[in-house]
């Protein structure tokens, strides 16, 4: 069976959902964005306007009114039945709370057309933890985007043992069609590929700083020179933002909780949250456009 994807509904218009909806609409898909109430939709309009400005400035081909047209082409709805009535693909980007995700897939299973493929943008869950709520485990998998998708354009594609290979392939093709670099995983892995490497890497760096072996600047410099990478781990943590890092670390093992406490005491409590607040491990110019 082949799956044609033209109409895409994105659930959740927060940090990631707004970016996914915008990127998808920019590539010519018919996009509806769903969120819980009118206040959330007002916030979504602001996010789309900000994204339009960023794309206009930074993305070749998005100038000349294209970015603004993209923002206004996205239909916004807080009526789930209406939002998914004609969807070929539903991309879930609601909060990383298992009960919220399970609940929305349960409702979706009754409201979306039978042909619709469902994907989750979960950061930490396995799709197997959600598949039984979808009513269509063969048409369900994870499609994981990274923050700032226009630049960090990996789209990790991860099915469950029940995902239909034709559905998996359709999602890989969709990811490529919206300008992503599809990253195909052969089986489920918590953290996907990127975070499975990134988290041990940043934890190692944090351990060196927290235990007083060297300052973050020196650790970054070592990594940049030693591996020819353009950024070190602390520069990357500044981009991700310390709230996300803190939340992930504080629910981790003993060492990770120690790193979380250090981050809180030395940075978060002083209003230093990374690039988004103008200062983290480094200082940034006032007009930075990072939307994390
Ligand atoms: P967010 O908090 O910025 O946005 C969540 C959105 O979902 C909000 O607009 C909220 O109003 C809406 N929402 C809440 N309950 C809902 C419901 N029942 N139905 C529909 N919408 C609902 O969160 P985010 O950072 O965009 O994260 C969304 C998902 O993307 C999470 O699973 C997260 O793990 C994943 N993710 C986030 C990042 C990141 O860097 N922020 C990166 C990769 C993946």
Which strand (E) or helix (H) includes residue 17?
A: helix 15-26
Query: Are the C-beta atoms of 275 and 242 separated by less than 8 Å?
Result: no
From atom 8 of ligand 1, which residue's Cα is the shortest distance away? 14
pLDDT in tens, 236-263: 999 888 988 898 899 899 999 999 999 9
| Ligand 1 probe mutation, 11, 16, 48, 97, most atoms within 8 A of CB | 16
Pocket of ligand 1 (CB under 6 A): 11-17, 35-36, 40, 93-96, 100, 104, 121-123, 145-147, 244
Per DSSP, the residues of 196-214 read HHHHHHHHHHHHHHHTTSS
Nearest-angstrom CA–CA distance, 24 and 204? 36
pLDDT in tens, 12-51: 999 999 999 999 999 999 999 999 999 999 999 999 999 9
From atom 36 of ligand 1, which residue's Cα is the shortest distance away? 123
pLDDT in tens, 139-172: 999 999 998 899 999 999 999 999 999 999 999 9
pLDDT band at 228 (very low <50, low <70, confident <90, very high): very high
Token pair, residue 211, equals: 């235990």
The Å distance, Cα 232 to ligand 1 centre, comes to 27
Confidence check: pLDDT of 290 > 70 = no
Query: Are the C-beta atoms of 153 and 124 separated by less than 8 Å?
Result: no
For 213, list phi and psi in degrees, rounded to 5.
Answer: -75, -35
The Å distance, Cα 10 to ligand 1 centre, comes to 11
The Å distance, Cα 12 to ligand 1 centre, comes to 6
pLDDT in tens, 46-71: 999 999 999 998 888 788 889 999 99
- CA-wise closest residue to 287 among 53, 77, 97: 53
The Å distance, Cα 142 to ligand 1 centre, comes to 14
Confidence check: pLDDT of 186 > 60 = yes
């Amino acid at each position: 069976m082949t799956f044609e994807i033209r109409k895409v509904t994105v659930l959740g218009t927060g940090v990631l959902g707004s970016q996914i909806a915008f990127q998808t609409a920019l590539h010519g898909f018919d996009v509806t964005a769903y969120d819980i109430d009118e206040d959330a939709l007002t916030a979504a309009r602001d996010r789309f306007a900000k994204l339009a400005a960023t794309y206009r400035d930074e993305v070749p081909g998005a100038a000349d009114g294209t970015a603004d047209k993209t923002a206004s082409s996205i239909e916004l709805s807080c009526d789930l039945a209406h939002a998914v009535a004609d969807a070929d693909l539903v991309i879930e980007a609601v909060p990383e709370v298992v009960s919220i995700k399970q609940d929305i897939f349960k409702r979706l299973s009754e409201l979306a057309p039978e042909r619709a493929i469902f994907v989750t943008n979960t950061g930490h869950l396995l799709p197997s933890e959600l598949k039984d709520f979808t009513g269509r485990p063969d048409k369900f998998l994870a499609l994981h985007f990274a923050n700032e998708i226009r630049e960090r354009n990996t789209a990790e594609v991860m099915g469950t043992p029940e995902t239909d290979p034709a559905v998996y392939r359709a999602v890989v093709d969709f990811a490529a069609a919206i300008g992503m670099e599809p990253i195909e995983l052969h089986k489920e892995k918590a953290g996907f590929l990127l975070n499975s490497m990134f988290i041990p890497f940043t934890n190692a760096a944090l351990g060196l700083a927290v235990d007083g072996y060297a300052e973050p600047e020196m650790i970054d410099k070592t990594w940049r020179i030693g591996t020819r990478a353009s950024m070190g781990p602390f520069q990357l943590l500044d981009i991700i933002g310390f709230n996300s890092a803190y939340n992930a670390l504080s629910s981790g093992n003993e060492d990770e909780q120690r790193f979380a406490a250090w981050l809180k005491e030395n940075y978060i409590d002083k209003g230093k949250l990374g690039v988004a607040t103008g200062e983290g491990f480094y200082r940034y110019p006032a007009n930075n456009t990072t939307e994390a």
